[in-house]
Amino acid sequence: MDFFSSMRVSASGLEAQTKRMNTISSNIANAETTQVEGQDGPYKRKDAIFTATTDKENFGEILNNQLDQQIQGVLVEDIHEDTAPPRMVYNPSHPDSNEEGYVAMPNVNMIEETANMISAQRSYEANVTAMNAAKAMAAKALEIGK
Amino acid sequence: MSVFDSTIQGLDNSMDLRLMNQNVISSNIANADTPGYKSKKVEFEGALRQALAVDGNLPLEGNSPEHIVIQGNGPVTAAVADDTNGVESLDGNTVNRSEEMAKMVENQLLYDAAAEMLKKKLGMLKYSISEGGGNR
């Protein structure tokens, strides 16, 4: 239980939100991608799955402080592929069109991705604020006795 | 009567608890997007009241040197528990981001206040140690 566990937790939040932002960028960049290397069909939307993990730096810390069991950081456990069916667009001149002239486009919804992006951005900012608060508190504690 | 009186001890305990609170709030903010995460909170005021001995359990009075008086309260213990007031969203998460931010700012201010008071208390000690001649 120290200032650094608070900062480590916030840092884990920053890292997780960055990874989430990366997957969102990937989804937006590939919103029109109809071919993927080593895979059949169009690009599939990706989603970062978060899971809470106990903040532990080393064994001694865990042993010494059971309270830290409740201080949980966040970790990207998996990048999940969205199994929603592809969007079918009629375009017979496209090289990837099927016999009926439909092209399977990625299951990416731009509006959803934009909303997710804003959410990730806000969460990132919240983690930065939390880290700054911990830092300010530590600086204040150092002032004692000055 | 010790040089470091119960106020200093109380402030010390208060700062420890505020730090613990900060850790828990950071954890809640980091996990604001984690499915199924339940918002945590420090059972705080009770522990602080116990630390400052204002919970109505007055310490024993010793009016004879033969009386055994239990001094101090020892380390303060506060429990971290799931916040039962949280509203569960679709993914089972109960973190309210704006509430956590507000709690964090409040906690930070009160921590700063305790640090400032501790600083003043020690400044006063320093003043008397230097027989009022020090620069503080």
Could B115 and A55 be called an inter-chain contact, meaning their C-beta atoms sit closer than 8 Å?
A: no
pLDDT per residue rounded down to tens, chain B (136 residues): 567 777 888 888 889 889 989 999 999 999 999 999 999 988 877 777 766 666 566 566 667 777 766 555 556 677 888 888 888 888 889 998 889 999 999 999 999 999 999 999 998 888 888 887 755 4
Q: Check CB contact under 8 Å for B22 and A12.
A: no
Residues of B with CB under 8 A from a CB of A: 15, 18-20, 22-27, 29-35, 37, 40, 80, 97, 100-101, 104-105, 107-108, 111-112, 115-116, 118-119, 122
Tell me how far apart the alpha carbons of residues A30 and A41 are, in angstroms, rounded to a whole number: 13
Phi first, then psi: give them for residue A134, nearest 5 degrees.
Answer: -65, -40
Structure token digits, residue A126: 């919240």
Distance CA B44, CA B80 (A): 9
Q: CA B25 to CA B10: how far, in whole Å?
A: 22
**Contact with chain B for residue A55, Cβ under 8 A:** yes
Q: Which of B4, B19, B22, B26 to mutate to test the interface with A (most CBs of A within 10 A)?
A: B26
Q: Which residue of chain A has the CA closest to B106?
A: A133
Identify the segments of chain A with pLDDT beneath 70: 1, 55-68
Runs of H (alpha helix) within chain B: 6-30, 45-51, 97-129
Cα separation, B17 vs B51, in Å, equals 10
Chain A residue with CA closest to B97: the answer is A126
The predicted-structure confidence for A72-111, as pLDDT tens digits, reads as follows 889 899 999 999 999 999 999 999 899 999 999 999 999 9
Q: Are strands A102-105 and A87-90 parallel, antiparallel or unpaired?
A: antiparallel
Q: Which of B19, B30, B33 sits opposite A9 (nearest CB)?
A: B30
Q: How far apart are CA B36 and CA A52, in angstroms?
A: 9
Q: Which residues in chain A have Cβ-Cβ distances shorter than 8 Å to B112?
A: 136-137, 140
- From CA A139, how far away is CA A146, in angstroms rounded? 12
- CB within 8 Å of A31: residues ≥ 6 apart: A106, A108, A110, A113
Q: Is A72 helix (H, G, I), strand (E, B) or coil?
A: strand
Closest chain A C-alpha to B10 CA, distance in angstroms:
15
- B26, A69 contact by CB (below 8 A): no
Question: Residue for token digits 């420090």?
Answer: B42
**ipTM beyond cut 0.95:** no
Task: Calculate how close chain B gets to A10, using CA atoms only, in Å.
Answer: 6
